[in-house]
């Protein structure tokens, strides 16, 4: 059954209607502004409210005019004494003279239209003005004050003005106006946070917190640790943990199954391996086996740096399932990777006389039919594939285990769909991108995890260096020598843009150039827009050593395994994130040769890019790199936000709120233990929270099912 069908039953609680009103409903927000906001922020009032200030302007300073510091932001009540209006067509500014008991100032306007300034600052009247003041030829000037109000309307002048992250096309005034309207619609909501936590941290209620975050008075109020920000962050984390827990526990109503094979196939596999398992592989295999022996459904994350040997670990789990007569599926994020898993698993299973199946979106109809038939009648014990495995109409005779490789590219939903394709399906998630614990919790909930924290022996460390790209000619000359000696290299082409098209273009240009410069190396090109056959042929030439150089876009990022390649060149390394560079680098250092990685960058480097390249040069440790990545880039991108559909936080900042995440998980445990189906007042409140964060799927899981 397609789980999507359950999701539609969700109905948003009435208490949240105002928050989920479209932004155009707010005063001062027309279609155009709403359109801009939608692109940058979201389309509902609540999205706007989650757009938090990054600064605060203090307008409380009212110095005597002679004491004003150059460049200071001041607020002054002055009497307008004279207008010096420029003649029409003149480019002179319009100058207004004003004074108070402490001195005189000039207020300057450039390029004014009509009598706007006269209306704003009527001659002979008092006005409160606020803006940045500067000393110019011994006089204080304020050009284009931020605010001008009549004294009787002093209340309209914000004493503290929030500064929002600016997005193109949006002025501060536009956002502030819209926000004002949004804040007027903040309803009081019942409390969902444990009273003990509220008391412990002195957190305000939800609506108070929402009001307060938008009315900061000091830099201190902007800190993630301020009570109102921390509270809102906790809300978000609580919703996240609750949704994951519900999806995990309540959706798996049917019992898991016990998979306890006789070990026959696994023994055979091990006997035929040309190497022995590492200690870490052995341990993780046992951890998985323990889960498989239990009647609870398994959800285990296996983290292992690139090259740690995860495939074999997964295969052992699949063989255990096969020993009991059930089937396994391995879901890979890309076609290249699926094919590669298929090739290496086929090779490992060959001595056992087992043939796995391969299912891709694009494949010959006859092959596809055969695979589908084998899956449906149970003839295929192990199937490897892409998203195609998730399609409607893809059925298994008896699916017992789903292995999801490189999970950070899939979302929770895909896991659910796979889970629905069998009875009590165990799920094993394999990731090469080491995920810090806090992040793993937000992406998967409180799942079990195993670390393959040891590499197969004999791996040589990779030496990483960097060079500015204008030295490319030297690099190519050097490459010519080492490729002639028989070494093999990857040349990764720049990430130009989000769009594949430009990446491909850049790769093709570089390829043409390298082919001309290094004809003897027989360079091959692979990129994401190629048809599979051409790409496979190119990969095969490289794998067999016929081609010494592989020019590629990031399609080789995950999983490509050509052990004898020992040189990795990453062009425009400054455009890559740490995790991605580490993945790419992991393509080398797999064989017997000492390997090297060269990061070609375009100068000048930004501070972050410098930091990233330095970390790469310093460390080969995926976990350390992931932690640094989290610090430099934030969680969304570490998880691969765009592809993942996994949580992306707007209010919580995991670098600061990691502790709150643990507390949120504890509250979730407590609630689900006492009240697993979320009944009563407490249940209603939690459902409201889930709806507030649009974790609708979790809510419908409760309602439906
Ligand atoms: P990853 O964890 O990156 O998916 P793979 O499973 O692709 O790693 O394994 C990387 C390479 O290491 C493969 O060529 C595999 O055959 C080899 N390998 C796996 N386990 C061992 C081991 N215990 N000893 C030696 N080589 C191993
Ligand atoms: Mg792998």
Give the 3-state secondary structure of residue 640. coil
Mean pLDDT across 300-319: 91
Please, is 197 exposed, middle or buried when counting C-beta atoms within 10 Å of its C-beta (0-12, 13-18, 19+)?
middle
CA 309 to ligand 1 center in whole angstroms: 3
Residue 247 pLDDT level (bands cut at 50, 70, 90):
confident
Give the 3-state secondary structure of residue 47. helix
Q: Which residues line ligand 1 (CB under 6 A)?
A: 275, 277-278, 281, 304, 306-312, 432, 456, 561, 563, 590
Q: Which of 284, 305, 309, 330 to mutate to test the pocket of ligand 1 (most atoms within 8 A of CB)?
A: 309
CA 344 to ligand 1 center in whole angstroms: 10
Q: Which of 404, 456, 560, 622 to mutate to test the pocket of ligand 1 (most atoms within 8 A of CB)?
A: 456
Mean pLDDT across 261-278: 96
d(CA 638, CA 625): 11
Ligand nearest to the CA of 314: 1
At 102-154, the pLDDT tens digits run 999 999 999 888 888 999 999 999 999 999 999 998 999 999 999 999 999 98
pLDDT higher than threshold 80 for residue 654: no
Q: Which atom belonging to ligand 1 lies closest to the Cα atom of 313?
A: 6
* Token pair 């964060």: residue: 693
CA 307 to ligand 2 center in whole angstroms: 7
pLDDT higher than threshold 70 for residue 30: yes
d(CA 248, CA 444): 9
What does residue 628 show for φ and ψ, rounded to 5 degrees?
-65, -40
Radius of gyration of the chain (CA): 31
Residue 260 pLDDT level (bands cut at 50, 70, 90):
very high
At 40-85, the pLDDT tens digits run 788 899 999 999 998 898 898 899 999 999 999 999 999 999 999 9
The answer to whether 529 and 499 are in contact (CB under 8 A) is: no
Question: The tokens of 551 are what?
Answer: 């020019």
Nearest residue (by CA) to ligand 1, atom 26, is 456
With residue 20 as reference, give the H or E element that holds it. none
Mean pLDDT across 639-668: 71
Ligand nearest to the CA of 309: 1
Q: Which atom belonging to ligand 1 lies closest to the Cα atom of 311?
A: 6
Residue 644 confidence (pLDDT)? 32
Give the 3-state secondary structure of residue 403. strand
Mean pLDDT across 557-577: 83
pLDDT higher than threshold 70 for residue 682: yes
d(CA 476, CA 470): 11
The answer to whether 340 and 560 are in contact (CB under 8 A) is: yes
Closest to 548 in 3D by CA, of 493, 481, 464, 458: 481
Residue 303 confidence (pLDDT)? 87
Closest to 399 in 3D by CA, of 331, 313, 300: 331
Q: What is the mean pLDDT of the chain?
A: 86
What does residue 112 show for φ and ψ, rounded to 5 degrees?
-90, 160
Residue 246 confidence (pLDDT)? 81
CA 337 to ligand 2 center in whole angstroms: 8
Widest Cα–Cα separation across the chain: 99
Q: Which of 302, 311, 318 to mutate to test the pocket of ligand 1 (most atoms within 8 A of CB)?
A: 311
Q: Where are the alpha helices (DSSP H) in 545-606?
A: 578-585
Its pTM stands at 0.62
């Amino acid at each position: 059954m397609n789980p999507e069908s359950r999701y539609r039953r969700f109905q948003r609680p009435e208490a949240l209607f105002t928050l989920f009103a479209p932004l155009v409903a707010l005063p001062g927000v027309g279609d155009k502004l709403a359109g801009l906001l939608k692109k940058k922020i979201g389309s509902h009032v609540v999205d706007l409210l989650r757009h938090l200030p990054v600064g605060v302007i203090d307008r409380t300073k009212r110095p005597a005019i002679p004491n004003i510091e150059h460049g200071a932001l001041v607020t002054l009540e002055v009497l307008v004494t004279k207008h010096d209006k420029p003649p029409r067509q003149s480019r002179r500014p319009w100058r207004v003279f004003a004074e108070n008991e402490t001195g005189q100032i000039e207020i300057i306007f450039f390029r004014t239209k009509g009598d706007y300034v006269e209306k704003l600052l009527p001659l002979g009247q008092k006005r409160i003005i606020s803006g940045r003041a500067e000393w110019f030829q011994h006089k204080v000037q304020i050009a284009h004050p931020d605010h001008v109000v009549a004294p009787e309307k002093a209340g309209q002048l914000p004493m503290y003005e929030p500064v929002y992250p600016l997005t193109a096309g949006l002025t501060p005034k536009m956002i502030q106006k819209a926000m004002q309207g949004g804040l007027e619609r903040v309803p009081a909501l019942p409390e969902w946070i444990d009273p003990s936590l509220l008391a412990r941290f002195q957190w305000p209620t939800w609506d108070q917190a929402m009001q307060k975050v938008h009315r900061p008075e000091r830099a201190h109020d902007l800190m993630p640790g301020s009570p109102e920000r921390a509270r809102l962050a906790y809300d978000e984390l609580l919703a996240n943990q609750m949704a994951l827990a519900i999806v995990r526990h309540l959706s798996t109503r049917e019992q898991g199954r016990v998979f306890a094979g006789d070990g026959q196939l696994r023994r055979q596999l091990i006997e035929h391996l040309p190497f022995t398992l590492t200690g870490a592989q052995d341990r993780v295999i046992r951890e998985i086996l323990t889960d498989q022996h239990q009647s609870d459904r398994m959800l285990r994350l296996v983290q292992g740096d690139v090259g740690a040997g995860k495939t074999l670990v997964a295969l052992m789990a699949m063989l255990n399932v096969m020993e009991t007569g059930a089937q396994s599926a391995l879901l890979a994020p890309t076609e290249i990777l699926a094919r590669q898993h298929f090739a290496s698993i086929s090779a490992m299973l060959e001595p056992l006389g087992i043939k796995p199946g391969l299912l891709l979106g694009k494949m010959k109809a006859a092959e596809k039919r055969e695979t589908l038939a084998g899956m449906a009648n149970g003839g295929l014990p192990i199937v490897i594939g892409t998203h195609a495995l998730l399609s409607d109409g893809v059925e298994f005779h008896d699916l017992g285990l789903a292995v999801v490789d490189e999970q950070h590219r899939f979302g929770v939903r895909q896991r659910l769909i796979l889970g629905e394709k069998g009875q009590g399906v165990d799920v094993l998630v394999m990731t090469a991108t080491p995920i810090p614990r806090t992040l793993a919790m937000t992406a998967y909930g409180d799942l079990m995890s195993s670390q393959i924290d040891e590499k197969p022996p004999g791996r040589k460390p990779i030496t990483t260096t960097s060079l500015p790209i204008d030295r490319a000619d030297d690099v190519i000359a050097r490459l010519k020598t080492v490729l002639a000696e028989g070494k093999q290299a990857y040349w990764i082409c720049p990430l130009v843009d989000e769009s594949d098209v430009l990446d491909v273009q850049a790769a093709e240009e570089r390829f043409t150039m390298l082919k001309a410069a290094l004809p003897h190396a027989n360079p091959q090109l692979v990129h994401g827009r190629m048809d599979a056959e051409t790409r496979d042929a190119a990969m095969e030439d490289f794998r067999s050593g016929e081609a010494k150089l592989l020019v590629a876009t990031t399609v080789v990022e995950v999983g490509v395994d050509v052990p004898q390649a020992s040189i990795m060149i990453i062009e425009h390394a400054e455009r890559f994130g740490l995790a991605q560079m580490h993945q790419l680098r992991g393509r080398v250092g797999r064989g017997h040769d000492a390997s090297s990685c060269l990061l070609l960058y375009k100068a000048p480097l930004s501070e972050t890019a410098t930091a990233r390249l330095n970390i790469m040069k310093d460390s080969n440790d995926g976990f350390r790199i992931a932690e640094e990545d989290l610090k430099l880039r934030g969680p969304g991108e570490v998880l691969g936000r765009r592809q993942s559909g996994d949580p992306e936080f707007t209010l919580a900042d995991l670098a600061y709120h990691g502790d709150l995440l643990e507390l949120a998980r504890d509250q979730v445990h407590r609630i689900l233990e006492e009240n697993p189906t979320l009944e009563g007042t407490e249940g209603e409140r939690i459902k409201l929270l889930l709806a507030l964060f649009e974790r609708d799927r979790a809510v419908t899981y409760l309602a439906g099912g």
